[in-house]
């Protein structure tokens, strides 16, 4: 036990100072917000997989969460990032937000990077945000995966079980647009075709910082368009 305590002292604080501290450093191979080279060109962040592609150049910018689906269509370098909830919802959820995660047919990549937010590095609970086991204890849902035909009913029942007012978050390309499964009979072309969505977090999967940045903007903890 003594060795464990000594090790913890040597390690020091592992939690990022985000959002008030120094901008987090990301690995060189991290693929963030794409860079649009030509005038008039557009790229839908809600449908791409952020895979290595010689036709697309990626930046290190992890800030990509938006409030409206149309804002994910990137033109040039400007992106309208997520805005804060309306006054009434902010009064309810601003200091404490409980979320129920729904895996709707995904590959588990989004789910794994969502779980990372609960580690000491990100420490999601310090912002009053926690994941709960039941939708009846939740203020909203976070949906991952392409929403397969077999998961649609379960998703809708989970949504209905959350008391109003409630927040809905589409996390990852699959949840936002169907991803690589779009336009197939076994998947839905995006969560917004089924229920209203308050926050879209693009990525395949989204980096934990992209998710955290989006959540904090939704709750008014980050008010500027960028850090």
Q: Looking at the domain assignment, is residue 174 inside a domain?
A: yes
In this structure, are residues 191 and 102 in contact, taking their beta carbons and an 8 Å threshold?
Answer: no
Average the pLDDT over each of 72-76, 167-171, 199-203, 217-221 and give the range with the smallest value. Answer: 72-76
Q: Is 39 a domain residue? A: no
Among all chains, which residue has been given the structure tokens 């990137």? 74
165 part of a folded domain = yes
When divided into structural domains, the chain yields a total of: 1
Whether residue 15 is contained in a domain is answered as: no
> pLDDT tens, 17-31?
899 888 888 999 999
Note whether 45 and 74 are within 8 A (CB).
yes
- CA 128, CA 22: separation in Å to the nearest integer? 22
Domain range enclosing 122? 87-218
pLDDT in tens, 105-125: 999 999 999 999 999 999 999
Q: Quick check: is 224 in a domain?
A: no
Say which CATH number the domain at 158 has. Answer: 3.40.50.12280
Q: Enter the pTM of the model.
A: 0.93
Q: How far apart are CA 16 and CA 18, in angstroms?
A: 5
pLDDT digits (tens, 9 = 90+) for 144-198: 999 999 999 999 999 999 999 999 999 999 999 999 999 999 999 999 999 999 9
């Amino acid at each position: 036990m003594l060795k464990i305590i000594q090790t913890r002292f040597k390690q020091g604080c592992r939690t990022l100072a985000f959002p008030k501290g120094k901008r987090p450093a990301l690995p060189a191979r991290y693929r963030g917000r794409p860079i649009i080279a030509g005038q008039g060109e557009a790229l839908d962040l809600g449908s791409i997989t952020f895979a290595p592609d010689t036709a697309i150049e990626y930046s290190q910018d992890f800030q990509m969460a938006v409030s409206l689906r149309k804002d994910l269509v990137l033109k040039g370098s400007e992106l309208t990032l997520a805005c804060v909830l309306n006054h009434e919802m902010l009064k309810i959820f601003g200091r404490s937000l409980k979320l129920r995660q729904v895996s709707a047919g995904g590959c588990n990549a989004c789910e794994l990077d969502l779980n990372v937010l609960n580690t000491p590095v990100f420490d999601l609970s310090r912002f009053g945000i926690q994941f709960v086991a039941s939708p009846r204890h939740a203020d909203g849902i976070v949906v991952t995966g392409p929403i397969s035909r077999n998961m649609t009913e379960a998703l809708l029942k989970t949504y209905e079980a959350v008391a109003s007012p409630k927040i809905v978050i589409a996390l990852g390309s699959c949840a936002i647009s169907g991803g690589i499964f779009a336009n197939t009979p076994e998947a839905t072309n995006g969560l917004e075709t089924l229920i209203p969505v308050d926050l879209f977090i693009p990525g395949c999967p989204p980096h934990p910082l992209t998710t955290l940045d989006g959540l904090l903007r939704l709750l008014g903890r980050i008010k500027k368009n960028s850090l």
